[in-house]
Amino acid sequence: MNTTRKATISETIVKRAFIDSFKKLDPRIMVKNPVMFVVEIGFIVTLILTFFPTIFGGESEPIYNGMVSMILLITILFANFAESLAEGRGKAQADSLKKTKQDTKARLLQKDGSFKMVSSTELRKGDMIIVEAGELIASDGEIIKGVASVDESAITGESAPVIKESGGDFSSVTGGTRVISDSIKVRITTDPGESFLDRMINLVEGAKRQKTPNEIALNILLVSLTLIFLIVCTTLVPISSYVGVAIPVATLIALLVCLIPTTIGGLLSAIGIAGMDRVTQFNVIAMSGKAVEASGDINTIILDKTGTITHGNRMAASFITVEKVNHGELTKAALHSSLHDETPEGRSVIELAKKIGVSETEIDVNGSAGVEFKAETRMSGTDFSDGRQVRKGAVDAVKEYVKQQGGSIPSDLEEKTKMIAMEGGTPLAVAENNRILGLIYLKDTVKPGMKERFDELRKMGIKTVMCTGDNPLTAATIAREAGVDDFIAEAKPEDKIAVIKKEQAEGKLVAMTGDGTNDAPALAQADVGLAMNSGTIAAKEAANMVDLDSDPTKIIEVVAIGKQLLMTRGALTTFSIANDVAKYFAIIPAMFMVAIPQMSALNIMSLTTPQSAILAALIFNAIIIPLLIPLAMKGVKYVPMSSTKLLNRNLLIFGLGGVIVPFIGIKLIDLLLVLMNLV
């Protein structure tokens, strides 16, 4: 798996973000963020007042207007910088992908069987190409003939090549990857500009990032609050005139900017972009922000057994002796039978023997010859120079071998063979010369740490369902060991769709992983479908996420990132709105306490002058945005707990913190302004 995922903020990204923050001042861009667009209008008005103090009637101070104007500009730039910084990491990855995408030559197969060298831009869906060892695959496609080792490091970051072959779930190939060995015939499945690499570039650049439903709903709330405070500030003009107070236009704008939710308004886009970027750091390409967000609300996860929950290879779990055979004798014989067996199951026998305590001196192939497994004999083993023969294999095959050697069959062999089979395991008999010593219990072992991971999901309130083609007995054994909540045995593709629909009918959101064509309908039905990059084109097109590492357990990380995205957005929204309380106590008394001395009772922070109070609140409103950028980018740490505890925790930290921090910050800035004689 690619381990170089930690995204860093390089000097290049910061410089690009700084330049982009000025480019985003374009009103056509700013209008897409209504809250910050209102701040920009306020900046323009106060800038005009700086040079033409009496343009709107009444008296105003140019220096004060200029300071307000400058602070508003900085506020907008900080908000733009946050968004540009989040986009910058995606653009950096896109630049890397663009280097991978190049105009390569392809050997196009003609109708008469001849070849024609063409550019990759000339290839169309349905074309047939031949790719030889050392050549780049020109475009996305499916292998229809041959098997080859393919280097996908340019896309996945994984240096180890993968085996691709025709006719299975590992037949899809991606443009820009390189064939390491052999020759393959590929049918092109995309037209120019529509390849997987093209889609990745668009997605990580954020060029086609769609706002998610929750983000749209929050935007509507922010716009509504902005309109409400705009009306409030507008009505203050006749009210203040009635009591004989003249409120400068710059002060009204400062009040409006401080009361509208500028903090979350400036960080909202950055939070969404950073959420998708965090998924990308895990080598998962999300086809939309909606998919990332939906993963945070998942209630049920459907997981395949083989390769996801279990290793997928039968591994030695224990050695079971028969009759009066010594356990150490069986262990040693089992190890000797596997000395020349390079299969995963053969290696697991040696590992188990070593774990039990067999001496390293026994693992010596000198003076021995391996006997390969054959379909006819259904056995493998080792012949030693001293004439000793050790075999392991199917129980009936080993029984026949021992009979031919003149040996007898242990009386309890059949009973112990059935016991292993009933537990869902595979029994292999071990014989030395004409004696059967016992059985190797092979089982598809659960991956380390899976039980703990499922416990973590349970704490999140997520139900896990294992799907397997195994019989119910084997499925129950694996489900119990893995710690999943439920399982479906002897599962067919339609069974997966049925369980997804059943969960969705109960109002739940469902996620699943898959890699085969038969998984495509279920991936499309699921709210979050994570397809493996090693899988078929059909699976990748049906899913709304693709895992470049082809690790099915990645869905667990994706769910955690989705929850982190929702938590971050909620936490910063809470903090932003709570901020307004402190700013209210700073600006409202400052506006009226000269004309209405009784208003000074609300000046609980003892701010020095009306101007220092307003400027302090406005400066705090600006600088809190860059201070929160790291949190928006990294995300609020998610700890599995009940929703009630989570709500109370966030209200305590971000709600109460959002009220207290501005009181402290505004007072310190007020003292600093006075100290520097700026007011």
The answer to whether residues 442 and 464 touch, using CB atoms and an 8 Å cutoff, is: no
Q: Would you give the end-to-end CA distance of the chain in angstroms?
A: 59
Is 373 labeled as ligand-binding? yes
Model's pTM, two decimal places?
0.67
For 525-562, how does the pLDDT look when each residue is reduced to its tens digit (9 = 90+)? 998 988 887 777 778 888 888 887 777 778 888 888 88
Rounded to an integer, what distance in angstroms lies between the CA atom of residue 463 and that of residue 315? Answer: 28
Average pLDDT, stretch 261-271? 87
Identify whether residues 430 and 322 lie together within a single domain: yes
Identify whether residues 329 and 230 lie together within a single domain: no
pLDDT of residue 119: 85
Asked if residue 1 has pLDDT above 60, the reply is: no
* Run of H or E residues at 173: strand 172-173
pLDDT of residue 180: 87
Is 375 labeled as ligand-binding? yes
Closest CA to 276 of 288, 265, 294: 288
Identify whether residues 494 and 527 lie together within a single domain: yes
Rounded to an integer, what distance in angstroms lies between the CA atom of residue 258 and that of residue 247? Answer: 16
Of the ranges 24-28, 93-97, 194-198, the best mean pLDDT one: 24-28
- Is residue 110 domain-resident? no
Compute the mean pLDDT over every residue in the chain, rounded to the nearest whole number. 83
The alpha carbon of residue 50 and the mean position of all alpha carbons in its chain are separated, in whole angstroms, by 48
Identify whether residues 526 and 663 lie together within a single domain: no
The CATH number of the domain holding residue 398 is 3.40.1110.10
pLDDT of residue 90: 62
Identify whether residues 329 and 426 lie together within a single domain: yes
Average pLDDT, stretch 338-344? 86
- Is residue 553 domain-resident? no
For 408-466, how does the pLDDT look when each residue is reduced to its tens digit (9 = 90+)? 999 999 999 888 877 778 889 999 999 999 999 988 778 888 888 888 888 878 899 98
Identify whether residues 187 and 302 lie together within a single domain: no
Q: How confident is the model at residue 207 (pLDDT cuts 50, 70, 90)?
A: very low
Identify whether residues 431 and 471 lie together within a single domain: no
Is 127 labeled as ligand-binding? no
For 555-577, how does the pLDDT look when each residue is reduced to its tens digit (9 = 90+)? 888 888 888 888 888 889 899 88
* Per-position b or e across 626-652, b if 16+ CB within 10 A of its CB: bebbebbbebbebebeeeeebeeebee
Indicate the pairing of strand 528-532 with strand 545-547: parallel
- Is residue 99 domain-resident? no
Is 459 labeled as ligand-binding? no
Asked if residue 4 has pLDDT above 60, the reply is: no
Asked if residue 7 has pLDDT above 50, the reply is: no
Is 26 labeled as ligand-binding? no
- Is 495 an active-site residue? no
- Is residue 105 domain-resident? no
For 289-300, how does the pLDDT look when each residue is reduced to its tens digit (9 = 90+)? 678 888 888 899
pLDDT of residue 93: 60
Q: How confident is the model at residue 96 (pLDDT cuts 50, 70, 90)?
A: low
Of the two residues 607 and 349, the one the predictor is more confident about is 349
Residue 548: which residues within 8 A CB-CB, separation 6 or more? Answer: 2, 152, 155, 156, 157, 283, 284, 285, 533
Rounded to an integer, what distance in angstroms lies between the CA atom of residue 287 and that of residue 204? Answer: 10
pLDDT of residue 186: 92
Place of tokens 């939710």: 261
- Is residue 606 domain-resident? yes
Write the Ramachandran bin of 186: left for phi over 0, alpha for psi from -120 to 50, otherwise beta: beta
The CATH number of the domain holding residue 162 is 2.70.150.10
pLDDT of residue 24: 92
Is 378 labeled as ligand-binding? yes
Identify whether residues 417 and 352 lie together within a single domain: yes
**In this structure, what token pair is assigned to residue 486?**
């439920």
Average pLDDT, stretch 310-314? 72
The answer to whether residues 484 and 464 touch, using CB atoms and an 8 Å cutoff, is: yes
pLDDT of residue 255: 87
Is 199 labeled as ligand-binding? no
* Three-point CA angle 460, 221, 631, nearest 5°: 50
pLDDT of residue 130: 92
Place of tokens 């294999």: 393
Asked if residue 102 has pLDDT above 70, the reply is: no
pLDDT of residue 105: 83
Average pLDDT, stretch 490-503? 85
Is 165 labeled as ligand-binding? no
* Per-position b or e across 491-516, b if 16+ CB within 10 A of its CB: bebeebbebbeebbeeebbbbbbbbb
- Is residue 97 domain-resident? no
Rounded to an integer, what distance in angstroms lies between the CA atom of residue 260 and that of residue 276? Answer: 27
Asked if residue 312 has pLDDT above 80, the reply is: no
Is 392 labeled as ligand-binding? yes
Identify whether residues 464 and 482 lie together within a single domain: yes
The CATH number of the domain holding residue 500 is 3.40.50.1000
Identify whether residues 326 and 430 lie together within a single domain: yes
Instruction: Tell me which of 169, 277, 304, 527 is the catalytic residue.
Output: 304
- Is residue 4 domain-resident? no
Identify whether residues 576 and 664 lie together within a single domain: yes
Q: How confident is the model at residue 6 (pLDDT cuts 50, 70, 90)?
A: very low
For 641-669, how does the pLDDT look when each residue is reduced to its tens digit (9 = 90+)? 666 777 788 888 898 888 899 999 999 99
pLDDT of residue 208: 47
Residues paired with residue 212 on neighbouring β-strands, in sequence order? none
Asked if residue 100 has pLDDT above 70, the reply is: no
Break the chain down into helix, strand, coil percent, rounded to 5. Answer: 55, 15, 30
pLDDT of residue 594: 62
Is 22 labeled as ligand-binding? no
Domain boundary among 191, 223, 251: 191
The answer to whether residues 262 and 79 touch, using CB atoms and an 8 Å cutoff, is: yes
Identify whether residues 584 and 659 lie together within a single domain: yes
- Is residue 619 domain-resident? yes
pLDDT of residue 35: 92
Q: Which domain holds residue 183?
A: 123-191
Is 519 labeled as ligand-binding? yes
Distances (CA, A) of 492 to 211, 469, 470, 489, 534: 36, 7, 11, 9, 21
Of the two residues 347 and 290, the one the predictor is more confident about is 347
Domain boundary among 386, 420, 445: 445
Domain boundary among 445, 471, 497: 445
For 126-162, how does the pLDDT look when each residue is reduced to its tens digit (9 = 90+)? 999 999 888 888 888 888 888 888 887 766 655 567 7
Question: Domain total for the chain?
Answer: 4
